[in-house]
Amino acid sequence: MGDKEPNNNNKEQVMIEPQSCFFDDLIIEEILTRLPIKSILRFKSVSKQWYTTLSSSNFANAHLIKSPFSHPSAPIETLFIKCGNNFYLSLCDDDQISGNFQDNLVKLDVDFANDENFCLLTGCCNGLICLTLGRDKYFIIWNPATRKAHKYESDGFSNHVNFSDWPTLDVVLGFGYASSVDDYKYVRIVTRCRRKEKCNIVHIFSLREKKWRKIDFDHDDDHLIPIGEAVLVKEKLYMIAVAGIYCERVVIVSFDLGLEKFEITKFNIRRDDFLGVMGGCLSINRYKGKNDRFMHIHESPTTMKSICLPKGLRLDKFSKMIGFTRTGKLFVTATIIDDFKNWKTRKILGLVDTCTKPMEYSMLMIADEGVNIARYVPSLVSPFPIEELSEA
């Protein structure tokens, strides 16, 4: 009898432990991955095992995938707003967007940009905000939802540039995620020009490798110069570039973050066009003088959807479209020039009701400082390098 009782106990343990693991997995995969981020952050204190699981990159990715707003074509849930060196989040529920939009902004407390003279919104991807600070001295990867941020040092490239030898220096920065290698990458493309001589230099910082690498600007056109800002669409960075000895052509160049390859696209572009992202697709914003403003959404290389914003809305050539709300209203930004001589401007965030005839435009906020606005999807993705996730 004494020998049989331990066997029964062992059988009980063998039966109970798999059931316990099964229910834990079920709770984590089917329930916790669908909960708000604030709830998950509280549940980390339930046990050491839950803390480890809920802090893992696998859980963060699973939670992001199940978010109803994570799909590129989903309506905007949250806007990230950079106003000078101040940062805000704003919920974009159609029922709550009104004339008091500015009063409902949630200011984000940060301590990494207060004493910097220069802070550039470089990219926004999977809940991570990338900011370049201090004239490329370093950059910050920041998750406002979890209040986690990590500082990455620059490689000091700008300290070694002889501006007298290269009087013209164009810099394009980008940030994004490559699922094929499960890595977030910070990209810097520098073009140095001297008379007819041009030199493109590409540096990439990998969060997985935690180091800088220099790659070739692998393109046949030696006179290709990327300009402006890069926009992220489906794991590719798109940017406008001028080509030719005398910069007589304008093209759109893409950079695949996974393959790390450049390619000239077949999209039609003009010199005063702006690139954007609408519903996960590359969009080209086109201004025709005092006439209408057009947004061409390229759903594929051969399929394009166009939206006309009539001149009665008084949008200027610097206007950009950000995305749609749940009911099809369109967030747009516009620039007011108060002083042409000294180039004093103000930025406006507005909302266009594309369903009304004629379209109705309402102003949501106006700011004197430099303003950048981006679609934001809250997530649990960590801004830390892979090897430091356990310390985050």
Residue type, 96: Q
Sign of the CA dihedral with 268 first, then 272, 275, and 278 last: negative
Look at 41-55, 161-175, 185-199, 217-231 and tell me which has the smallest mean pLDDT.
161-175
Q: What is the CA 275 to chain-centroid distance, rounded?
A: 14
Q: List, for residues 37-60, the tens digit of each pLDDT value.
A: 999 999 999 888 889 999 999 999
Percentage of residues in the chain with pLDDT exceeding 70?
A: 77
Domain range list for the chain: 4-65, 78-391
Per the DSSP assignment, residues forming a β-bridge with 249 are: 243
DSSP H helical ranges for 266-335: none
Kind plus residue range of the DSSP H or E element containing 299 = strand 293-300
| Banded model confidence at residue 361, pLDDT cuts 50, 70, 90 | confident
Would you say residue 322 has pLDDT above 70? yes
Q: Retrieve residue 6's tokens.
A: 């331990």
Q: Are strands 329-339 and 320-324 parallel, antiparallel or unpaired?
A: antiparallel
Note the pLDDT of residue 278: 87
Look at 111-115, 209-213, 296-300 and tell me which has the smallest mean pLDDT.
111-115
DSSP H helical ranges for the chain: 4-26, 37-43, 48-54, 57-65
Q: List, for residues 67-120, the tens digit of each pLDDT value.
A: 888 888 888 989 999 988 889 999 887 666 766 787 778 999 887 766 556 788
**CATH fold for the domain made of 78-391:** Neuraminidase (2.120.10)
Q: What is the CA 322 to chain-centroid distance, rounded?
A: 12
